[in-house]
Amino acid sequence: VMTGAGISTESGIPDYRSEKVGLYARTDKKPIQHGDFLRSAPVRQRYWARNFVGWPRFSSLQPNPAHWALSNWERLGKLYWLVTQNVDALHTKAGSQRLTELHGCMH
């Protein structure tokens, strides 16, 4: 199974692209690009400062029924592996163990 931002919206993490509620619709801020992160100390500082400020709320969010269902499927042997682009650790909080986090994890 592969998951992306949409699975975590019900847990309170907005995605980037949803009309009227996504991050792109609510702000002119765009994600920091990898090359910019590598080339610029101020960009890295902004990235880590933004993460630091948002960490208390972000880390307190909990898995939703979709995360729990995938964890249950794994436990029942119906899911071989889970791949996510999310960095929110909600799959781990739900108990998924056979997991690859493509972009790493904020925790």
Largest CA distance in the chain: 47
From residue 18, how far is each of 9, 33, 50, 75, 89 by CA, in Å?
A: 10, 20, 21, 32, 21
> Does the annotation mark 103 as catalytic?
yes
Among 34, 67, 91, 103, the one annotated catalytic:
103
Strands 99-101, 2-3: pairing kind? unpaired
The residues annotated with a catalytic role in the active site are 103
